[in-house]
Structure 1
Amino acid sequence: MTPLAATHDTAHMGWFSRAENWMDSKGKGAWIVAMILGFIFFWPVGLALVLYITYTNRWSKDMFKKTACRSRSFKRHMHVMTPTGNSAFDAYREDTLRRLEDEQKSFEEFLERLRAAKDKSEFDEFMDERSKKATQEHTEDA
């Protein structure tokens, strides 16, 4: 179990959080098996798990960022460098790819802000609990 998950009381967590913590405690293999079974029994479940793992960085912060983005960027530039012979289509394709890259960048920035807000919220909650505990201990000593 992750240190963060170990600090939370499982009685107050929903079924999804408990399942997520259980999967994390079993390791990458459990996530892989769940994805495979999801694709076998009902493919949208498998796809949802792939997306969830990708966008929540279940395995590591850098797993999908550096190499995958470089590879996509390289492939995109290699593909764009080969003109089709139709200038209108080439201009449309370039504009669409640029727009999609901008949207991807905006979405990644949004996710970073979301993660930062969640971290701040958890930290503020911790500090509030700590302050209440200190105040309570101070009033009991008096």
Structure 2
Amino acid sequence: MILGFIFFWPLGLAVLAYMIWGDEMREMFKDFKTRIDREFKGSGCSRRHRSYGFEKTGNMAFDEYRKAELERLEEERRKLEAEKAEFEEFLAELNRAKDKEEFDRFMAARHNARSTAPQGGPSNDSGYQAPYQG
């Protein structure tokens, strides 16, 4: 460990960490490996492709009921997604209308400012008037 710190400090730090937490790290990786093995045990494909992620129970009536309920819930999810899309479209249209109203108000104010400006002097489009330097 000391040589690790002398030649390359990250190596020394890694050895020190292993000395302090080595047993706990082995247990943590063992638990992780066990969970992964249990999750993918006996399957070459992901769970999602097997009857909504559930294996058959052996009771056909319950399996049919579960399948029907999951299909009903999936249909509800699709309806909610459609309503969400409609609401987002409504909000976008509302924002467009608000933006158009603000733009029209700006253009009307700009047009009114130009029509009330004095005709004799140079026109300043920005509406800025220089201070009097008499």
TM-score, scaled relative to structure 2: 0.46
Q: Which has the larger radius of gyration?
A: 2
Higher relative contact order (CA 8 A, sep 6+): 1
- Length-normalised TM-score, structure 1: 0.44
More helix by share: 1
